[in-house]
Homo-oligomer: A and B are copies of this chain.
């Protein structure tokens, strides 16, 4: 719906400009976009959702055609209640992924005067954390692709920089946010949780210490498995204890690593 509107606007640009003086201001305005950094985790690696630019837009008005980029697009001045709504709407349009507005956390504003060759464009970057297993089917493989964090291609515009900043924000927020909740599937193992923290924080932890600390927080509860474990080779499955987590959080807690 929104896509077709954007397409029309772009396609009609030439005669619009000549015949209608559509939107006029007494001093220059920048264009404003929202970009999305969607992080996913498959139990092994941290991943990011990227799109290939220009597949379906008029190439003459689209920069960086054929390059990989972060999903995102222009603020709808009349309809988007906030810039986070822009992020959610554009993500849906470009990748099929439907997230709630409050799943987006603001990363920051990128406003370098020449960051877009077409006109002055200011972008507000947002990141979101998703359970990869649960959303993979919902992402439109025609347009979007999940890239391993360690294997990201060069991106269009200043999106390389935006991605780096988004990752460092995630790295900071991991101390205050329930990152595990949001990235892991509902049932997970301790090694998976540890690997996730190690991926984001870019450090290695001692297995025993990590397990001790996690147990100490009392936010994990064992999932009783149908198949009784014989050895220790197959890891124990856990799920988050949301009640305990919420109680900790409301007391102003902080995950320390």
Contacts and interface: CB of A to CB of B under 8 A. Distances in A.
B112 A32 contact: no
Interface in A5-44: 9, 12-13, 16-17, 21-32
B111 A82 contact: yes
A52 B112 CA distance: 30
Contacts of A32: 29-30, 32, 122
A239 interface: no
Q: How many copies of this chain sit in the oligomeric assembly?
A: 2
A108 interface: yes
Nearest to A75: B30
Interface residues of A, number: 35
A5 to B, nearest CB: 9
A74 interface: yes
Contacts of A248: none
Contacts of A82: 111-113
A25 B13 CA distance: 10
A145 interface: no
A113 B22 CA distance: 20
B80 A109 contact: no
A60 to B, nearest CB: 14
A108 B17 CA distance: 34
Given A83-B122, A109-B109, A22 B26 contact: yes
B111 A83 contact: yes
B13 A23 contact: no
Contacts of A77: 27-30, 120
A76 to B, nearest CB: 8
Nearest to A125: B109
Top 5 nearest A-B pairs (CB, nearest first) are A29-B29, A28-B77, A83-B111, A24-B24, A82-B111
Interface of A: 9, 12-13, 16-17, 21-32, 74-75, 77-78, 80-84, 106, 108-109, 111-113, 120, 122, 124
